[in-house]
Amino acid sequence: MTARRFDVVGLDADDTLWHSEDSFARVEETFTALMAPYAPAGIDVAAALRATERAYLPILGYGVKSFTLAMVKAAIAVSEGTVPALVVGQLVDAGAGMLTETVRLLPDVPAVLADLSRDHRLVLITKGDLVHQTRKVETSGLAHHFELVEVVLEKDPETYARILRQVDVRPERFCMVGNSVRSDILPVLALGAHAVHIPYPLLWEHEHVDHDEDLDELGSISELPAALREAHATS
């Protein structure tokens, strides 16, 4: 029996375990379509929504409820107050609908977690809305794999350091896995821990980051168990 390289594996949730960004993209299209009749020619409705989201991020934080409130504010702004209330209601319903959407797991996620959990402790670390993220992990049927589910305000080195202390693991025995270089990879490497990047086809522009680091990257989560064994064999 070989010793494993990592004691604890941290997993991001949105766009790492299940689809998320494609729902935001779909509701953004609904927003653009619903607002078209009310926005003066020459207004980039989608850009206004993204800018509103960004402007409110420090106040509202991440997640679907914040995004929905940003849609309401952007709709009023781009229509110069002419959008009918019933259309605003449709925007709120489109946003709130994301909160109760069935979780759509990425391929092989249940098998991968079952495999990893045989010889690692698993923690789920996600930004966003407490009620929404908790509902997703519970309705996914995957909650039992996780020793800890942490919904955090921001994924910075301080947050990861606190979680590592909480689960009592040294950085060199921790590996984080996620789709965002900005949130899942760089702050973890900054602590001296390990991280594996698994890109998702869509990335929220807020998560874009330029970096020079040579990162460990996989094409899909199904490659993760072998990659962690490999990490051990070559370490």
Q: Which residues bind a copy of itself (CB under 8 A)?
A: 56, 59-62, 65-66, 68-69, 72-73, 75-76, 79, 81-86, 88-89, 92, 95-96, 99-100, 129-132, 134, 151-153, 166
Dump the DSSP string for 146-203: EEEEEEES--SHHHHHHHHHHTT--GGGEEEEES-IIIIIHHHHTTT-EEEE---S--
Q: Among 169, 191, 190, 183, which Cα is nearest to 8's?
A: 169
Q: Rounded to an integer, what distance in angstroms lies between the CA atom of residue 103 and that of residue 43? A: 34
Minimum distance of a copy of itself from residue 57's CB (angstroms): 9
Nearer to a copy of itself by Cβ, of 109 and 151: the residue is 151
Minimum distance of a copy of itself from residue 165's CB (angstroms): 11
Nearer to a copy of itself by Cβ, of 89 and 192: the residue is 89
Minimum distance of a copy of itself from residue 154's CB (angstroms): 9
Minimum distance of a copy of itself from residue 59's CB (angstroms): 5
Q: Cβ(152)–Cβ(39) under 8 Å?
A: no
Q: Cβ(9)–Cβ(177) under 8 Å?
A: yes
Nearer to a copy of itself by Cβ, of 143 and 215: the residue is 143
Nearer to a copy of itself by Cβ, of 166 and 192: the residue is 166
Q: Among 3, 9, 8, which Cα is nearest to 224's?
A: 9
